[in-house]
Amino acid sequence: QQPVQSPQAVILREGEDAVINCSSSKALYSVHWYRQKHGEAPVFLMILLKGGEQKGHEKISASFNEKKQQSSLYLTASQLSYSGTYFCGTESYGQNFVFGPGTRLSVLP
Partner 1 sequence: SQTIHQWPATLVQPVGSPLSLECTVEGTSNPNLYWYRQAAGRGLQLLFYSVGIGQISSEVPQNLSASRPQDRQFILSSKKLLLSDSGFYLCAWDMAAGSGNTQYFGPGTRLTVL
Instruction: Tell me: does residue 3 bind partner 1 (CB under 8 A).
Output: no
Beta strands in 14-53 (DSSP E): 18-23, 28-36, 43-48
Instruction: Tell me: does residue 94 bind partner 1 (CB under 8 A).
Output: no
Pairwise CA distance, residues 80 & 92, whole Å: 33
Nearer to partner 1, 43 or 108 (CB): 43
Number of shown-chain residues binding partner 1 (CB under 8 A): 20
Instruction: Tell me: does residue 66 bind partner 1 (CB under 8 A).
Output: no
Pairwise CA distance, residues 6 & 3, whole Å: 10
Nearer to partner 1, 29 or 74 (CB): 29
C-alpha dist (Å) from residue 23 to 37, 40, 79, 92, 101: 23, 25, 26, 12, 11
In sequence order, which residues have a C-beta less than 8 Å from that of residue 55 and are 6 or more positions away? 46, 47, 48, 61, 62
**From 89, 90, 105, 107, residue interacting with partner 1 (rule: CB under 8 A):** 89
Instruction: Tell me: does residue 87 bind partner 1 (CB under 8 A).
Output: yes
Stretch of 17-25, 35-43, 59-67, 70-78 lying at the interface with partner 1 (CB under 8 A) = 35-43
**From 15, 52, 56, 101, residue interacting with partner 1 (rule: CB under 8 A):** 101
